[in-house]
Amino acid sequence: MKFYSEGVQAGFPSPADDFKEEKLSLDKRYLSNPDATYLIRVAGNSMVPTLEINDILVVRSDFELKDKCVVIVSVNNTEFTVKRYNEDNKELIADNPDFPNIKIGEDDTLICLGIVKNLIRDL
């Protein structure tokens, strides 16, 4: 795939002759560990404006759960959901204020399928 590393101006354009063509491997960039990487489509709007319906998430299952990460999780064997993890308050945060956050109690079972590392969005 062709990749123009010099970027494109979002202000005044520069002549196209200034662009240097290089190769960019999307597999190498986003699928560096294919056995621990999967793609999943967003189906709800609890994470708007961060994530939108039909965004495709690049999720890594080999990364450790950390504070403020966007994660794919299940609490007490419920359906998996995508939320932002808040370690200090022990809750899963919905970025959309119209949705409630999910408190994680001491007796709750949290299953994390992975950490969202990138997203693919059609314009």
Catalytic, out of 20, 46, 66, 103: 46
66 catalytically annotated: no
Q: Would you give the DSSP letter of residue 64?
A: P
- CB 52, CB 45: distance < 8 Å: yes
Q: Write the CB contacts of 7 (distance below 8 Å, at least 6 apart in sequence).
A: none
- Asked if 110 and 121 touch (Cβ cutoff 8 Å), the reply is no
Q: Which of 83, 90, 103, 117 is catalytic?
A: 83
Do residues 55 and 41 lie in contact, with contact meaning Cβ atoms separated by under 8 Å?
Answer: yes
Say whether 83 is catalytic.
yes
Question: Which sequence positions are flagged as catalytic?
Answer: 46, 83
